[in-house]
A and B are shown apart, each in its own frame.
Chain A
Amino acid sequence: MKSYALFKKDISSELRTRYAINALAMFIIVTLSIILFSIGNERISSSLTGGLFWVIIFFTSMSGLSRVFVSEEERGTSLTLQLIAAPSTVFSGKLLFNLILVFAMNTVIAILYSALFNTFVLKNFALFLTSFILSNIGLAFASTIIAAIISKAGAKGTLYPVLSFPILLPLILTSVQLTLFAMDGTSFETAKFELAIVGCYDVIIFTVSYLLFDFIWKE
């Protein structure tokens, strides 16, 4: 309930300040437009279409998901949070906020991408949906803990994608592969190894984040 109260506070704050939503919306529109302009009339291969989809997701995440901690640090309200909540409450509340943001953001990207790129055809939609959900969970977990780490640093904007890249690489590579499987119409049976990798990634990153957060949060 305490985490939910923090999540409610963050949602309410976001709706008033538009700290992350505007940045994410602009990034999605600009990135999709640039890709469309650069492709022109050319028909791109399905493997490239699947890869580009995750490139957009990765960079959009880098532009907005760090705000959950960075905004608190920049405004000086981190101390206030430390005085009213235990570290586990702060982590769960912020994680919940990033989960909702990641799902909303990636759903918008997926819908726009399907509408704008006619080579993005999913033959096994159930597989895509499963991998999409698992990957989004991993993305939210990883981006939340990385945001907590970089919020204490000086060059936050630069550090976030640099630190995120090696941590998110296994997730992104496997998600690209799963998207390609979904586009090819591959069965769940064939894709189970990749699904297991993403599932294990989610469990590992959540456990590590939860254990490390106390040390990151307290100076």
Chain B
Amino acid sequence: MIEYSLTVESINKTFGRRLIFSGINFKLDSSTIFGISGPNGSGKSTLVKIIANIISPSSGKLVHNLNGTEIKPEKLHNHIGLVSPYLVLYDEFSAYENLNYFSEIRGISFDKEKVDKLLNKFLLYNRKDDLVKTYSSGMKQRLKFIFALMHSPQLIILDEPTSNLDDEGKEVVYELVKKEAKKNIVIIASNEKTDLSLCSETIDLKNYKK
């Protein structure tokens, strides 16, 4: 079994003179669902980007460990799956082309069987060859889940995971979160009570403003 852990030590983030949050500490191990809540503008997405190694914290330290060994920052992208409203896939390609290019760029072989299974699960299989620009916002959101899961990451970060989804889509997401949390770390950043009800522990960012 793969053991993944994320340690966040005294993370602070400021944009110019504006403090977003300070003094965030937590440690997560595999088989955890962790929640991040807070009002709009409290820094949920900023914290998500820091955890996903997209932006750096102003101070503090993050350590990603795989089986007791720290993962190098340049290799981290292969262990993280992110779904967020600000994630954009290539409109000029079909869903299948997008996923195929992502596999090639990651340097992993395209697992057709897994991708087809995910496309079926998210009800996109029949539209897999259509250009992404013809998709509705809900379909694009579903495709982002496939993008986040196709490389079997150990850390799954879901920023507002149910935005643009219908009830059926939300059910698929909740089922998937429970399944992934059996072996991986799932982080949910949201204000939706139903999203956060899945989490075993939640931090509220409005308490980290000093």
Contact = CB atoms under 8 A, between A and B. Distances in A.
Given A79-B86, A83-B80, A2 B92 contact: no
Interface in B53-93: 53-56, 74-75, 77, 80, 82, 86-93
B187 interface: no
A8 interface: yes
Interface size class of B (residues with CB under 8 A): 20 to 34
Contact of A84 (B74, B93, B97, B105): B105
A77 B104 CA distance: 17
B101 A9 contact: yes
B52 interface: yes
B174 interface: no
Contact of A2 (B54, B80, B91, B104): B104
B88 A75 contact: yes
A111 B56 CA distance: 48
Interface residues of A, number: 27
A83 B101 contact: no
B106 interface: yes
Given A9-B101, A9-B105, A16-B93, 18 more contacts: A2-B106, A5-B105, A6-B105, A13-B92, A77-B88, A77-B89, A79-B54, A80-B90, A82-B54, A83-B82, A83-B87, A84-B105, A85-B77, A86-B75, A87-B74, A218-B53, A218-B56, A219-B54
Nearest to B54: A82
5 contacts: A6-B105, A8-B104, A9-B105, A79-B87, A80-B90
A50 B86 CA distance: 48
Contacts of A80: 87-90, 147
A88 B74 contact: yes
B122 interface: no
Closest 6 CB pairs of A and B: A5-B104, A76-B88, A86-B74, A16-B92, A9-B101, A219-B55
B77 A86 contact: yes
Interface string A80-108: 11111111110001000000000000000
A218 to B, nearest CB: 7
B107 interface: yes
Interface string B114-150: 0000000000000000000000000000000001000
A39 interface: no
A190 interface: no
